[in-house]
Every structure is written in structure tokens, then in C-alpha cells.
Structure 1
């Protein structure tokens, strides 16, 4: 007689679009799908109104006209800014929210769907961005001071933070397990399915929603979050020069990394995204920095070679000729090291 096994949890899912990305919601109780979908849409609309760089009526854009004065902000924007500034501190400035002007200079000045894919040359001056240390956030008072001339961009952390926030709130409201994925930034909360949350990790090139034949794998997590950052999905040309949205704060232009995609699992999606983005922004030094963070990671080089670190399940060879579809669990999901840890 075969041993009894736990029945597989019945889940339900819904897809939508928000924050410039494809959104996927999965719940472990199908009866809560409609209510959770509505709550998720409302949550992401609130985030967009507070944090968008492309909406003239957003709170973030309003800071551009504050002229360096201390400005009241909503608890929502204060929390998003706190997450961005924490990421900057933990990565020693590799993930920095003061890259708004740099983003505009390289052509990412509107929703990515509207960015001209092959435009005229742009004059790029190599210089560091203003730096997160120039931003003063007082969460207790609910105020922020952004010096005149500095434009903020929360794109490196806001979606992952929004995924964490939404997954947590939906799980509390429904009492069931919830997975929220925003363009590859995935957060889970509540009781997981019996066999865990299975997540496919793969390259996305040419367009944020495209699926390629590059190396991919399926991993299982039961808590925390998983994020993938890449230079191949959001890219464009200016005068034949390739550019992408991952900024190296030391130069103020697109980072030059040996990796095209970095995936990380961590205690939160925000931590995972902070680590994956920092690895790309740090260029050739990114790999050694990521090793020191002790977070399960998967890196894909420009030629398709896959490197796994810190307990991420290894993948079968050959990397370049066959699509890798492994199913393995990530059993150790840690937070990013606290401030003052390895640089």
C-alpha cells in the first residue's frame, strides 16, 4: 500500500496590468480570488498615484516643484521612500533613488511602452548621481526634504515593495495564501500551497512581456520573495548606442555588467530586488558582492551561461543549447545583511 501524500492545494489566478508591468495574482482559496483581485487593483492604484515618475499628479512628481523645501508626504510615499533609502544604504549607493535626472537623460522619461526604441544620439556626461545621503526623510513627522534640482526615481525598489505590501495585506484580509508578481518581482504571504509556491525563473528579452528560449528553471519557495532584474528587457538605442534602465550611480548612465539577468531569493521581495539590481549596477564587482550577501542567486551571462550561488539549485548542462527546467526548493531564504555589513 502506497504511503498517503498530502493533496495538492487548489489555487486560482488572475492576470492584469499595472505599474508598467504584467501583474499576476494567485490565491490558495479560489473563493477569495475576486475580492483579492479588487483589493490588489486598489493597492496598486494607490502606489501609482504616490510613486509614479510619469504621472504629473503623483506625489513623487510634486516633490520636483518643492524647491528644496521640507514637504509633507503621505504614509504610503514615506514608506516607499524609506524602502528606497534603506536599499541605498545596504548597497553602499549602488541602488540609489536620486537617479531620476539620469534616467531622463538616457531617454527613459516616460512609460516604457512609449519610449522610442531607436532614437537620435543623446549627449551623456559621465558623473555620479547626487546621492541618497542628500535626501532627508522624517517618517515620524511625515516629511521629506529633496534638495533643489534632484529628481527621484523609485523604480529600482517600488514594484518589489508594492508586491510585498499587497501580498501581506491580501493574506491578512483573506486568511489564505497569496502570491503577487509584478513584472518578475514576486512576493508571497499567508499559508503556502501544500507543495509550496512554484515559480518559473527565466530571461525576458526585447520586451517586458516576451518569453525567450533562454535558460530557465522552476524553483519552489514557501515564504519571502524572489526578484529578477535584467538589462535585456527594458532597453533602447540612442544613435546606435545600446542603453538600459539599470543605472550605475557612479557614472549616471546604464551600468556595464557581465550579466544580463540576475535572480535572487530573500526574506522579502524588496530585499531580493535590491540585491539583484545592485549586482547589475556594480558591474564586474557585482558577483563578488552578491556572494557576500549569502542570498540564493542565479546569474545569466550575455552568452547564456548560468551561474548559481549561495544555495540556488544547480542546473544541468549544456547551458546554451538546452532550456533548463529544474524543479527544486530554496530552503534557506534570508534577509539582506543589516546596514554596516559587507560592501
Structure 2
């Protein structure tokens, strides 16, 4: 008699202005794992949301120019963002908040005007992460005057890492957490790995034609310029801002997917690659991380041992 391993159980729901997905290798563990994920989502929303007047990030930004003490959770998120800035030489910089707001991304994406006729203000470079004065020991933080932090990308990735670890620890089974297409895994991996469909938009239904990859551990993140776009003053804008200019990055890539040990590192590298543009290939080669870059014309560049695309026979993949 042959016994079959149960297929991973899954739950998908909206969160953080995007889509949260949770898969576990033991279907009976899904409720406990989901509770762990929702707890992490609630914590990051209250701590790092740009769109909540009662969030800690809002308080910190309003206090720019003065010294304030932040929570342990905020300190962890800030240090992840500052580490990303250091590793990318400022290509990923948490001080882009004012630039993002000036472009019109000043509310949740679902609330944005799809076609905003207001003129764009003159773009200004981000103040720069080096000007953040933070003492990890005391958790005392002082931002330069008129500086707004945006911890969005790295905080979301950190939440995926934390939630996957928390879900696996609570249940003893394998867990995968995906937030807006950035995913982290923890615990035992299902046979053959977690099968992930690759696409410009993680929220679109998977198709048989799309490529997929098997993830056997660690994390995967995708950054791109085709999703979270809006029109303002006749221009199509997107949410990945070049800190050096304060303008949306103008890369030759429509998406960049990177694999790494943590979702924070994968997201840092994929976002940096979009900002770096033509310099991204050499920079990614230096990191030695597996990466897949898709050019605007659809040409694919694979680096760091990224495998050739394969197309699964079924369409049950997670995006």
C-alpha cells in the first residue's frame, strides 16, 4: 500500500495593501499558522504603516528633527532598512518617504487616483540614510528635519521572514509566507520543494504558460515596475523611487526576482536591481545571489545559477 503526502494547505487574504498567502505542509496546522501570520501582520501595520495616523512610523516622522525612543519592533525594522541601504550603497534608502509622497503615493494604493491631473513637484534627492542618527542600544532615534521614513519594502519582507519562522515554530511543520509576492519559508520543505509561479503581477491567476521555480528553502522576492502604477500630470509613475533623484527608477528591467537566505536580503537585492538599472547585472554578479531579470522587451537574464525556466503541467502554483 502506498501512502501519499497530503498537499500543502493554503489560505489567502488581503493585508498591508497587498495579498498575504500562507501554505503549510500539515493541513491540520493551518489555523495555528494563520494566527501566527495575522499577529505579525497586525504588529507591522501598527508599527510601520505610512497610512495609519496612529502608527509608530507616523509618530517618528512627525518628530523629525528631535530625538525619540522607538520600540524594539520598530528598531528591528529600521535596522533592516539601514542595512539594506548600506549593502546597496544607498540604492535602497528608507529616507525616500517625502519623494514617494510627492509623487502622489500619499495614501493606500487602493485609494490612489488612477489619473491625477495635479502637476508634479520638482523632484529632490532623498536626504540619505547616513544622516539618520540611531543608537541601537538605547533605541534613541533622530531623523534630519523634514525627513520622512518609508520602511515599506524591507518591513514587509521582514514580516514574511518573522511570520514564516513563527508559524513553523508554532506548528512544527513547514510554512511558506508570501506578502505581495515576496516570500519566506521555514521548517520542513514539501517533497519537490515549494513550487512558485513567476509573473509580473503576483495577484493574477497562474497559467500553464507561465514559468515556475521550486524553492527548497530560504526566500524569494520579486520587484517590478508593472504593478502599483498610476498616472499623474500625464506621466505613468510607479512606486520604486531612485533615492539619488527622487524620481521613479527608469530601469531596463520590468521585473527582477532574487533568491536569498532571508526575504529581507532577497527584497533588498531585487529592489536595488530595479534602481541600479544597467548596473544591476554586474552588481548582482558580485552578490552571487541567484537572480532572474526580465527586460522590458521580455528578454530574460539568469545569474548566480538561476535554473532555466520550466513550465508546470498544472496551474496550481503560488505566485
The TM tier, using the shorter chain, reads over 0.9
| Pairing 1:107–2:104 present | yes
Kindly report which structure 2 residues correspond to 1:84-233, keeping only aligned pairs within 5 A, or say none: 84-204=81-201, 209-211=203-205, 216-233=210-227
Work out the CA distance in 1 between the residues paired with 2:204 and 2:195: 20
Work out the CA distance in 2 between the residues paired with 1:157 and 1:325: 30
Per-residue CA deviations over 1:6-49 (Å, capped at 9, x if unaligned) read: 95453211111111111110111111101111221121011100
**Structure 1 SS opposite 2:160:** helix
| Pairing 1:325–2:275 present | no
Distance change >3 Å, CA 26–CA 214, structure 1 → 2 = closer
- Deviation of 1:134 after TM superposition, in Å, equals 0.9
Match of 2:43 in 1: 46
**Structure ranking higher in helix proportion:** 2
Match of 2:307 in 1: 313
Work out the CA distance in 2 between the residues paired with 1:215 and 1:264: 21
**Structure 2 SS opposite 1:16:** strand
| Pairing 1:11–2:8 present | yes
**Structure 2 SS opposite 1:122:** coil
| Structure 1 residues without counterparts, runs of 5 or longer | 316-323, 328-343
- Deviation of 1:64 after TM superposition, in Å, equals 2.0
Match of 1:261 in 2: 255
- Deviation of 1:101 after TM superposition, in Å, equals 0.3
Per-residue CA deviations over 1:189-218 (Å, capped at 9, x if unaligned) read: 0111122111111111xxx63358797321
| Structure 2 residues without counterparts, runs of 5 or longer | 314-319
**Structure 1 SS opposite 2:74:** helix
Distance change >3 Å, CA 214–CA 10, structure 1 → 2 = closer
Instruction: Give the total of aligned pairs.
Output: 313
Work out the CA distance in 2 between the residues paired with 1:9 and 1:275: 34
Equivalent in 48, 67, 70 of residue 73 of structure 1: 70
Distance change >3 Å, CA 277–CA 67, structure 1 → 2 = closer
Q: Is contact 1:6–1:194 with CA below 8 Å preserved after alignment?
A: no
Distance change >3 Å, CA 212–CA 5, structure 1 → 2 = closer
**Structure 2 SS opposite 1:157:** helix
- Deviation of 1:183 after TM superposition, in Å, equals 0.7
**Structure 1 SS opposite 2:98:** helix
Work out the CA distance in 2 between the residues paired with 1:303 and 1:213: 20
Match of 1:300 in 2: 294
**Structure 1 SS opposite 2:79:** helix
Larger mean CA deviation between 58-67 and 254-263 belongs to 58-67
Per-residue CA deviations over 1:131-179 (Å, capped at 9, x if unaligned) read: 0011122222122211220000011211111100110111111111110
Work out the CA distance in 2 between the residues paired with 1:117 and 1:50: 28
Larger mean CA deviation between 25-34 and 117-126 belongs to 117-126
State the superposition RMSD in angstroms.
2.0
Distance change >3 Å, CA 62–CA 195, structure 1 → 2 = same
Kindly report which structure 2 residues correspond to 1:30-41, keeping only aligned pairs within 5 A, or say none: 30-41=27-38
Q: Is contact 1:228–1:263 with CA below 8 Å preserved after alignment?
A: yes
Match of 2:279 in 1: 285
Distance change >3 Å, CA 139–CA 190, structure 1 → 2 = same
TM-score in terms of structure 2 length: 0.93
Per-residue CA deviations over 1:62-87 (Å, capped at 9, x if unaligned) read: 01221422211111111001100000
Match of 1:331 in 2: none
